[in-house]
Structure formats: structure tokens, C-alpha cells
Structure 1
Amino acid sequence: MTDRPLDVHRVSRESLRAMAVGDASEGDLRLLRSAQRSQLLLVLRALLDHVDDAARRTRHPGGITSVRSAWRLLCAAEDRAPEAVETVLADPTVMAWALRLLRRLVGSASGTPSAAPLWAELGQFHALAASAAWRAGVPCVLRVPAHRGMVWLPGAGMAGPVARRRWSEAVVRVDGEGAAVHGEGGQVPLSRSLPEGAPGWRPLRAVRGLTPAAQEAAGAGPWLDTVSPYRDFVRYPSAPGRTGEGRLRLWESRLAGAHALLERESPADAAALRTLVRAVVPRSLSLRTAEGGPVASASSLDAFGAVTLSLPYDETQTAAVLVHETRHQQLNALLSLVELVQGAGDEPGGTVDRRLYYAPWRSDPRPVRGLLHGVFAFAGVGRFWRTHRGHVTGTERQRADFEFAVLREQVQEAVAVLVTDDALTEAGRLFADEIAGLVATWREDDVAAGPRALARHYCALRRALWRGRHLEIPPGAAQRLAAAWVAGHAASALPPSAVRPRPDLIRLDAFGPLARFHLSSPAAFARRRLREEKQGDPALRAGYAAVAGDAEQAALGYAKWTAADPQEPEAWIGAVLALPEHARGAGAALLLDRPEVVAGVRRAVAAAGGGFPAPLDLAAWLDAADPHPR
């Protein structure tokens, strides 16, 4: 803002190693946060080079006030009360607004376009200055945009409605007593004390009940953000939400409990969370949805410090999700300082070959940068569950054992692939090698037999389903093999498979949520299973039976599912996995290792008029061929 000596953000090899294994120091974390603040200032400064010219080309009744006056007001506020400006800039949605506007002005906008007129997005610069002036007590009068009558005051909240139209202008007046927002349909007075709630005022809600360590950063979060117009990572602007007081208190309880749990069990994760995450944006999903499966959560490159998630069902799940999203925040900030992957190969038009990989926690193929993000994030979550196992007993220990066993296998598999990709830079290879070394130390950890068996089943199912959906053999090769099958000849050598993403084939994961339900609430699981058996859905009945270890009932359910939908690989993959290993028979290994071959040949046989052969019979026939390239 004001003239100060420039500093350079540098990450040492020692810091890079520490970050890779989740042991970043407080200094490392502050460096990442400081670098993101510097990036925001650069973006704001870049906007100054474009906004006034854009304003001159934008038609708007009364014209658009020069943004440079807003910049001067920000500087004046910083001179009087630097902490006021810092709190405003700490709002993650400021970066989201600034980056989206800059891309719009330079013609590089991607994704969902803004629904806001350009004059309104330009005018948010004045809203930024007005919020800082209000906090700092700098007298001013500014024209600002209003969306559905609501005025955004970054770092504080939303005032209004002061108008009825979809887009209009309002005036913010700041004096020694506070501020007032005036519109064509009314006004909202705001005192200097930054009220938590008042008529016409929707504040960012500070999370209450935090531990003393977490409360140290209370001036810059964490907030529950249900109001900011740029809080949505996809659509913008968004109107303030209608989350009730009871649900907000439940969110606070979950978040405060998660902070406390991490302070007790995982201080390094707690430090990263309170340093890097400023705002939590609740997603509008029901509590029942959260109980039935994993939490939906996300971070955005455009909004450092903000995470969005659906309501977790308890504080432990909340802690795990926050560790996961904090890792994404950390890696996003690190990637702005250190090139870990060469070029922009993950972006459209990038220079690096877009090779796609199996990321065990995703249903779609991922490029190397996405795989790196997943490996780093889930290594952190795996470490969390590994530690948490030592603090709990009973069903909670069973649940923690399962989560750890799943992530131990998945991260080891993914990082082994990651370290072979030649798009990694020297720093990227060092980073990936450190993660690989960390998860290698988990191999000998004991896990209870029940959770361990379910974890192996789950990982094998996800791997096989991914291959069945997103890999294929050449159609000509499938037709030749089909002709040999129909003619009763031996199978020829199996061809290699290639990635062909098929998002249309992706189904919601059922086995994972059922396994978690079984381990966390075995009695409730048994009651639900009895109810589902009466309703007759063969897929769900098979899933319940497989999780319960009832191979006979699972086989019946999967057989009915296969009969109803012969081309659904999940049915016959599930049928094989539900059997004990010694009872799976010839062809089971090939069916699980290369289901795309079985699926491709089955389709070719059916197309040739031979019907759909039994998957295991066909797999056994194919298994006699050699070699089996992957």
C-alpha cells in the first residue's frame, strides 16, 4: 500500500522438506500467508492499470468514480489504522473478486462468467475502501454497488437491503460515529463497534468457543461466511444465505470441537489451520446427507484462506476435512513460490503432456498437478487418522483404523506413481520423495482385522471400477478376442489399455459410506440392512451384505444386479470381491486387475450376437493368454 522496502519470499530446502511431511514451522506458515498477501497487493495494483480505462468504456448512469480515489483512501486508512486494512484484505473473497475482475478486464476469464455488470464489479473497489475507512475511522463518502439491495463491506459483512432492484448504487458515509449505508429504498446505520447483528446488517460470523490458541487470530478469522457475494467458488455474485441460528450454532460447535481436537492430538495441523484458514463457507446440504457419506469440501486458487464444506456429522470428521482443505491451502500458496511441476501442463493449452493418472480418492482421471495435490492432502489426512487411533477406543477406534488403512494404501499407491512423472521439477521430486518416505513408515502399523479387511476390499473396488470406467482396449483387439471366444479358440495376447475418461459412467460411491456406517454404528447398520432387504434393491442389498461379510447374500444380490444390468462392471467386480480370496477361482485376478479387458470383450461378444458371457468365465479364458500388459 504505502512505500516500504520490498522483500523477497524464499522457501529453503529445509522448509520444503518440513512442509512435505506436514511439519511446517510457524515461520514457514507465516511466510506462505505473507506471500499470498503480497500476491493480493500485486493483483490490486494491476487492477489500477486497467480499471479506469474500463470505466471510461462502460456505460453507467452518472459515470463511474475513478478507482484511484479508492486506492488513496485505502492508503489513508492504512496510515491511521494498519490493522483495519489488514482485516479487510484478510477476507479471502477479496482475492476472489480481484482475480476474477482482472481476468475479465484482460480478456482471460474462464469458467462461469460473472452475472454482475462490469460497472458493479469495478465499483467493488470502492466497497473495499469504504470497509477499511469504516474500521479505521477515516471520514469519506463513496458510491458503491448494491446487489439486490445488499452492499458488500469486505472483512465485515453485508448491509441492506437498501434497494429493490437487482443492481443499483448506494452511498456509504463514514464519520467519527461510524458509517451509514444509504440507498434508494432505505438506509442502514453502522456503529464503529462493528456490531455482530443489527437491523439491516448481516455480519461475517466469528466462530465462538475456540481454544485460546485459535482465538489469537480472531481479528482475521476464522469466520463463518454465509453472506459475502464472492464466497461461491463457481457462481458469483451470490446473495446472502438463509442459514438459521440453530444451524449456525451447530456449525460453530463442530468447528470449535475440531480445533480443540487438533490442538490436543495434532498441534502441527492445528497451527496450519489457524494460520492458513480464515473463512469457512457452509454448503447447503442436509445433515442426513453428511451422515450418509463423506463431506463435500473444496478450496480455490482464487480464494486463499477460504474453504467450503457441507456440515460434517461430528467433530472428528470436521477435523479430518479441515486438515485436508488446509493442506490444499498450503500447497496452493507453496506453488505460487516454488515450481514443483514444470510448465502449465494441467491447464488448457499447457506445454506439458497431459498424462492422466488414477488418484484413488477420485472417480475421474487426474493430471500430475492434481495427483500431487491429492497425495499431499491425503497424506495429511492419513497422518491425522494414524494419530487419532491412539486417542480413541471402541467403534471410534474401528472407524479410525479403517480410515488410516484406506489412506495408507491409497497414498502409497499414488505417490509411487507420482515420483516417476518427469514433469516434476527437482524441488517437486524432493517434495514427493519426502511424502513417499513418510508413508513408507506406516507400512508396519497394526490395524484391527475387521477394518483392515474392509479397507482392502474398498481400495480394490475403487481401483477396479476406475479402470473399468476410464480405460479401454482398442476396439479391433476386442473384436478379435470376441471372435476367438465365439469360435471356441484360445485367447491371443492381451493388448495394452489406454485412458479414455468417461465421466458419464461415474456413480456415487456406496461401499465406503456403508463400511463407515457399519464400523461406527453396527447396531444401526444391522437395522438398516434388514429394512433395505425388504425393499429389494439388489445393488444396495449386495453392498450391505458385502460390508457385513455375508458372501452368500452378497452373491445373490450381485447376481440379480448383473442380470438387470449386464454392462455394469460394479456388479461383477463386487461379486468377486465379496468372495473369500481362496474361493474366487480362475480369472478373478485378471477381472480385478484389468476389468476393462473383460468389459470390452463382453461388449464385443454381445455385439457379435453371442450374448453376455459370465464375467468370471470370460476372465478365466482371457487369463490363459500371455503376456498381460497393463
Structure 2
Amino acid sequence: MDVHRVSLTSLRTIAAGNATETELHLLCSAQRSQLLLVLRALLGHMNEAALSARCPGGAAAAEAAWQLLCAAEQEAPEAVEAVLADPTVMAWALRLLRRLGGTADAAPSLPLWADLGQFQTLAAAAALRARIPAELRVPAYRGTVWVPSLGVAGPVARRRWSLAEFRVERGGFVVRGEHAEVRLPWPAPVPAPGWRPLRPVRGAASRGSGSGPWLDTVTPYRDFTQYPKSPGALGERRLRAWEDRLAEAHALLERESAVDAALVRTMVRVLVPRPFQSARGGLVASASSVDAFGAITMSLPYDATQTAAVLVHEARHQQLNALLSLVRLIRAADDRTDGTRPRLHYAPWRSDPRPVLGLLHGTFAFSGVARFWRTHRRHVTGTEAQRADFEFAVLREQLREAVASLAAEDDLTEAGRLFVDELAAQIRDWQGEEVPALPARLGRHYCLLRRAVWRARHLTIDEAAAERLAEAWAAGEPAPDSLPDPVLRPRPDRIRLDTFGPLARYRLSAPHLFERGRRQAERGGDPARRAEYAVIAGDTAQAVRHYGEWIRREPQNAEAWVGAALAWQEHDSRAGASLLLDRPDVVAGVCRAVASARGEAPDPFLLAAWLGGADTAGVRSARTTSSGV
């Protein structure tokens, strides 16, 4: 195990985002060793599992496939390396190991014999790459046969699951099923009848022969949650758009950040396109999985810059997943001796509360993205610079808050605290950097809005405490000196799609299109949309009016109050605005209690001012109901 030991120096270097090639190789090597251990564990279970698998024609011997893998490694080690470098191999192996151990999250939809039979496909792919003549029986899903690290062949059958013959010959290979056969030369060609290969990303430097990066739209284990999957239906034009975008992003990273370029080159071997409408405002769906080291899934970003940022983000997740397999940064749940449950935290880039591991992952990933934008803004001008300034300003503030939460977390190990301290030092160094006025204003507004809205959604106060405060309010008594502490009660049903962030990015990157959208919203949009447009445009007086309309429509909508409070802060002083931003949870709780007791909601600003200790008796009689802003 000393082969995979991480020194304290390396831990600090990785935390700071400056991992050397040696350290990146260490992480990749550890993942390869883990995969070999999993494959060896599978081999020990397969014969017993095959007895109950009911494989048509009888189960193929796992030992024979293992021996073929060993022979391929002796003959051509690079052949086996290329097969094992396919991240979907690890995804298959780990899922099958959990299935055999009875710890799978859900029952897979594929028969056990087919899951076990994929071991034969590993050997077949290795034999093909090593040019070792072989003949194996392999599973076919909807007639297609998975060839790890290469692609899929078929269809050769019509049934959902069937057995096919895979034969490696001197000049190529043959896949024969119940109704057809596919005969292909080696090296396997570009897309051809009966052959759908992984597509190499043009312009992206590879870690080595056959190791990617690839675009994967075909392999059955490419999805992180559902498997198997049939080959996708992306057309040639769409695939070329993906290749161009990725090639441009890799080139951008090579020009601007050698460290990030090396990270992405090493950590991202496979990219799985996912359907999600790309947006100029920054909406990109992306994900990584601890089961598929080296693979990421993402929707098509708007441009090369956004693509580079997403690649850095997901590469950071991959890097941390690999590190966590070697170094424990967070105490395991079984280590807790006080009987308490792990805490959930505010992660500024998420709408839902996150456990400490999720917060650590997000902080590490977004610190890489923040550094990317910090570097990129020095290389560009005009609207592109404003866009980069905004992203840096937002992430710098969000990371400052997130790392403070991590530093106060009791579940960090000694190594975890060292890791977080290194992150915190880097983020602290960014706080004094100057950002131009417009992106700075929008970034500050966006961070305050997200924080307050999150608190309004997921924090609440004790119902009895809210009722006591409501009674004091109704009786005209002064508010108590201290407010009740909030309780975290996650409410995913209250989460709605973020619209402010995409609109702010639109304003900075395409101001003429933003103005056109604003004019359209003024003609027929809802007041929330009109209010956000007005705030982003800098017309806070108009924003105050629109937020007032929103509050009149939905008197107890805390998001409307928060937006109004922020607009008032920028427009003019207003009693209660500060408390609405700092403690929207207590205002919302008391507001509900007052409405329940009296049948009408109080003015949220007056209520917040009263809770903050202001004397509101002079104006309450005239504004006992929600009169807007």
C-alpha cells in the first residue's frame, strides 16, 4: 500500500489545485489498482453466481476469460491498459460487485447472466487489441455487443438479451448472433454498418495510446444511474459540434492554464453527451460518478470558454474522488460517538442543503472554476471580460462562505483540516482583488439573493415560538431582544429554477439581447421576471415597483420579500430590509402565524422592522395588511 501513499506535501499541493504530473499519476494508478482488486473479487464470486444465473447455453467460465486477459497483458500490456482505461469498465465492475454482495441500491434491469458475461467482453477486447486469436461467448443487449474501449458492434439479434459469438481472427474480428454477423478489420474503422465506435476528441492531447479522451454515445454502462442503455441517436452534425467545442476548450486551457490543461487531460478520459438545452446564461448540466473514474457527463455548453470551465469543474471532482480513495478527509458516520446526526450545510451554488462531503466536493471543484475565471479575465476584453469578472466575483464570495462552514465542521479529520486550510488560504488571497463596478454589483446582489432565498426555503423557527411572537405583534408589544434560533428542515418542493444568474450573465455577455428580452418581459412577463430584469439593468426604482406587484399577488412569498429588500437596499433605506435578508426564516415563520391567527398577512417590512427592534406603532394602523413595497 506504500505505493499509493499521499504525502502531506502532495496533499497540500492537490488542495491548492497545483498537482504535479507525478501526483496526478499517483491518483490514476490508485484507481487502476482499485479496479484490478474489484475484478479479482468478481472472479472469486462468478462461478457460484453463475450457477443461479440461468444463462442460455450455459455460463462461460470466468477463469478462461481471466487467463485470456493475463495472456494479453503478457503479449501486449498496452492492450489491457487501454481496455481498463475505459471508465465504463469500472462502472460495470463496481455495480456487479455490489449486486453480488447484496448491497446494490436497486435491482438492475438486466439478467444476472448478462451482467456476469460482460467479463468475457473485457477479455475479447483485450485479445482484439493484442491480436491474440480467441473465441468467446458474450452478451448482446438489443443485438449489440459491447467492446470496451472501442465501441459496440451489431445489431446481430432481435431479442432484448441474447448470446453472441465474438471471434478474434488474424486480420480483425467477427461478431455473430442469432440473425446476423458483423465482420470488421483491425484496427476497427470509423463508423461503419454494424459498428459504432467511441469517437476520439479531435485536438485534445491524449494520456497515451487508446486512452482517450473519447465521446461516448454508445456503451451500455455510460449512464451513471440507469443501465444498460442503447446507443444514442446523436447525428453526425451534432457530434461534430461536440468535437469542435471540446477541441476549442482544450486549446483554450493549453493557452491560459497549463495546470488545468494537464488536470483535464489526465482526469477526463470519456465524455458522455447528455440532452439538455444549452443556454447563453450558463445553464449546463454536468456530473461525475465515483463509480466511473475518468468519465463525465455534460450537456453542450454555449461556447468554448464555458466548456473549459465545466471540464475543470468535473476534473476537480474526479481528482477529489481519487484522493478520497486514499486519504480520509471526513470522519465516517460510524466514527460518531455523540449520537448526533451529520450536519447539513448551505452550499452557495446549490439550492438544496448539502452534507459535509458534498460541501467539500463543491468547494474544491468551484475553487478550480474560480481560478479558471480569474486567469481567463486577464486574457480577454469587452463583454467576455465582464462575464469572467462576474463569474470570479460570484465564486470568490461563495467560496469564502463555504470554506468558513467547512472550517467549523467537526467531522473533518486531521488531513481534512489541512486540506481545507490550504483551500481557505487560496480563497483568502482572492478577496482583495479588484472587480469592475457592474459585474461586482451583480455578483454581490446574486450572492445575497441566493443566501437569503435558501434560508427562507429551508430554515424555519419553532411553531410555538412563532405563535408567541405573533401574539406580541398583535398586542402591540415590543419584540424580544433575541430571536429564536432556526431549525433546518429541507424543503425541496420550494426550490425553483434560478433565473437571476442566467439573466445577469446574459446582461454581461449579450447586452443587446438582454434589453430585447427585458422589453418583451415588460409587455407580458410576470412581475418576478420584470423585477429581476429591472434590478440587473440597474433600474432599482422600477424593480421596487415590480416587487411590490409580486408581493401583492403572493403576500407570503418570501422570495418576493427578499428581492424587494435587496432592491430597497440599492434604491433607498427601508426599515426591516436588513432583517429580511439576514433572517427571512423568522419573518416567514411569524408571518404565517399572524396570517393563521388573523386571516391576513402583515406587511413583511413592518414585521421585519418590529422584529429588529424598531418602533413601528406609528404606522402599523395604516398598514396592517400586505400593502406591497
TM-score (normalised: structure 1): 0.95
State yes or no: 1:185 paired with 2:194. Answer: no
State yes or no: 1:550 paired with 2:536. Answer: no
Name the SS of the counterpart of 1:322 in structure 2: helix
Question: What is the CA distance between 1:504 and its match in structure 2?
Answer: 0.8
Verify the 8 A CA contact 2:282 2:302 in the aligned structure 1.
Answer: no
Question: What is the CA distance between 1:353 and its match in structure 2?
Answer: 3.1
Question: What is the CA distance between 1:610 and its match in structure 2?
Answer: 4.1
State yes or no: 1:148 paired with 2:178. Answer: no
Partner of residue 383, structure 1: 371
Question: What is the CA distance between 1:497 and its match in structure 2?
Answer: 0.5
Q: Distance in 2 between matches of 1:145 and 1:94?
A: 15
Q: Distance in 2 between matches of 1:393 and 1:193?
A: 46
Name the SS of the counterpart of 1:8 in structure 2: helix
Partner of residue 618, structure 2: none
Verify the 8 A CA contact 2:568 2:574 in the aligned structure 1.
Answer: no
State yes or no: 1:66 paired with 2:61. Answer: yes
Deviates more, 1:554-563 or 1:142-151: 554-563
Deviates more, 1:311-320 or 1:526-535: 526-535
Partner of residue 529, structure 2: 540
Partner of residue 117, structure 2: 123
Q: Distance in 2 between matches of 1:555 and 1:217?
A: 58
Verify the 8 A CA contact 1:345 1:353 in the aligned structure 2.
Answer: no
Name the SS of the counterpart of 1:441 in structure 2: helix
Question: What is the CA distance between 1:51 and its match in structure 2?
Answer: 1.3
State yes or no: 1:265 paired with 2:256. Answer: yes
Partner of residue 76, structure 1: 71
State yes or no: 1:338 paired with 2:327. Answer: yes
State yes or no: 1:283 paired with 2:274. Answer: yes
State yes or no: 1:503 paired with 2:498. Answer: no
Aligned to 1:34, which of 26, 29, 34? 29
For residues 444-492 of structure 1, what are the alpha-carbon distances to aligned partners after superposition, in whole Å with 9 as ceiling and x for unaligned?
1110000000000000000001100111100000111111112222222
Verify the 8 A CA contact 2:396 2:427 in the aligned structure 1.
Answer: yes
Partner of residue 242, structure 1: 233
Q: Which runs of 5+ in 2 are unaligned?
A: 616-629
Q: Distance in 1 between matches of 2:136 and 2:162?
A: 14
Q: Distance in 1 between matches of 2:539 and 2:168?
A: 70
For residues 231-289 of structure 1, what are the alpha-carbon distances to aligned partners after superposition, in whole Å with 9 as ceiling and x for unaligned?
111111111100111111111111111111111111101001111110001011233xx
State yes or no: 1:14 paired with 2:9. Answer: yes
Partner of residue 572, structure 1: 561
Q: Distance in 2 between matches of 1:563 and 1:76?
A: 75
Question: What is the CA distance between 1:191 and its match in structure 2?
Answer: 1.1
Verify the 8 A CA contact 2:136 2:167 in the aligned structure 1.
Answer: yes
For residues 523-542 of structure 1, what are the alpha-carbon distances to aligned partners after superposition, in whole Å with 9 as ceiling and x for unaligned?
11001111121123112111
Name the SS of the counterpart of 1:462 in structure 2: helix
Aligned to 1:599, which of 588, 592, 596? 588
Question: What is the CA distance between 1:417 and its match in structure 2?
Answer: 1.3
Partner of residue 90, structure 2: 95
Question: What is the CA distance between 1:560 and its match in structure 2?
Answer: 2.0
Verify the 8 A CA contact 2:199 2:216 in the aligned structure 1.
Answer: yes
Q: 1:272 to 1:350 in 2, by over 3 A?
A: farther
Verify the 8 A CA contact 1:323 1:381 in the aligned structure 2.
Answer: yes
Name the SS of the counterpart of 2:272 in structure 1: strand
Verify the 8 A CA contact 1:77 1:133 in the aligned structure 2.
Answer: yes
Name the SS of the counterpart of 1:152 in structure 2: strand
Matched to 1:328, the amino acid is H
Matched to 2:534, the amino acid is A
State yes or no: 1:86 paired with 2:81. Answer: yes
State yes or no: 1:609 paired with 2:598. Answer: yes
Question: What is the CA distance between 1:113 and its match in structure 2?
Answer: 3.5
Name the SS of the counterpart of 2:347 in structure 1: coil
Partner of residue 621, structure 2: none
Question: Aligned-residue CA RMSD in angstroms?
Answer: 1.8
Aligned to 2:169, which of 175, 198, 201? 175
For residues 141-169 of structure 1, what are the alpha-carbon distances to aligned partners after superposition, in whole Å with 9 as ceiling and x for unaligned?
11111111111011000111111111111
Verify the 8 A CA contact 2:281 2:504 in the aligned structure 1.
Answer: no
Question: What is the CA distance between 1:345 and its match in structure 2?
Answer: 6.8
Name the SS of the counterpart of 2:427 in structure 1: helix
Q: Distance in 2 between matches of 1:30 and 1:37?
A: 10
Name the SS of the counterpart of 1:263 in structure 2: helix
Q: Distance in 2 between matches of 1:147 and 1:191?
A: 22
Verify the 8 A CA contact 1:345 1:351 in the aligned structure 2.
Answer: no
For residues 15-37 of structure 1, what are the alpha-carbon distances to aligned partners after superposition, in whole Å with 9 as ceiling and x for unaligned?
11110011100000000000000
Partner of residue 49, structure 2: 54
Matched to 1:391, the amino acid is H
Name the SS of the counterpart of 2:3 in structure 1: coil
Verify the 8 A CA contact 1:486 1:610 in the aligned structure 2.
Answer: no
State yes or no: 1:439 paired with 2:427. Answer: yes
Verify the 8 A CA contact 1:171 1:181 in the aligned structure 2.
Answer: yes
Question: What is the CA distance between 1:293 and its match in structure 2?
Answer: 3.5
Q: Distance in 2 between matches of 1:498 and 1:189?
A: 64
Aligned to 2:391, which of 386, 393, 403? 403
Q: Distance in 1 between matches of 2:20 and 2:231?
A: 37
Q: Distance in 1 between matches of 2:378 and 2:314?
A: 23
Verify the 8 A CA contact 2:207 2:266 in the aligned structure 1.
Answer: no
Verify the 8 A CA contact 1:352 1:423 in the aligned structure 2.
Answer: no
Verify the 8 A CA contact 2:203 2:251 in the aligned structure 1.
Answer: no
Partner of residue 3, structure 1: none
Verify the 8 A CA contact 1:346 1:368 in the aligned structure 2.
Answer: no
Q: Distance in 2 between matches of 1:194 and 1:21?
A: 42
Partner of residue 45, structure 1: 40
Partner of residue 244, structure 2: 253
Verify the 8 A CA contact 1:346 1:354 in the aligned structure 2.
Answer: no
Q: Distance in 2 between matches of 1:202 and 1:499?
A: 49
Aligned to 1:107, which of 102, 106, 124? 102
Matched to 2:76, the amino acid is A
Verify the 8 A CA contact 1:494 1:625 in the aligned structure 2.
Answer: no
Verify the 8 A CA contact 1:343 1:352 in the aligned structure 2.
Answer: no
Partner of residue 372, structure 1: 360
Matched to 1:443, the amino acid is Q
Partner of residue 231, structure 1: 222
Partner of residue 156, structure 2: 162
Question: What is the CA distance between 1:346 and its match in structure 2?
Answer: 12
Aligned to 1:418, which of 400, 406, 431? 406
Q: 1:215 to 1:97 in 2, by over 3 A?
A: closer
Q: Distance in 1 between matches of 2:315 and 2:341?
A: 29
For residues 413-446 of structure 1, what are the alpha-carbon distances to aligned partners after superposition, in whole Å with 9 as ceiling and x for unaligned?
1101101112111111010000100111111111
Aligned to 1:479, which of 464, 467, 489? 467
State yes or no: 1:618 paired with 2:618. Answer: no
Matched residue count: 614
Q: Distance in 2 between matches of 1:466 and 1:262?
A: 34
Question: What is the CA distance between 1:625 and its match in structure 2?
Answer: 8.2
Deviates more, 1:192-201 or 1:148-157: 192-201
Partner of residue 620, structure 2: none
TM-score (normalised: structure 2): 0.95
Q: Distance in 2 between matches of 1:352 and 1:70?
A: 48
Verify the 8 A CA contact 1:346 1:369 in the aligned structure 2.
Answer: no
Question: What is the CA distance between 1:352 and its match in structure 2?
Answer: 7.4
Verify the 8 A CA contact 1:588 1:616 in the aligned structure 2.
Answer: yes
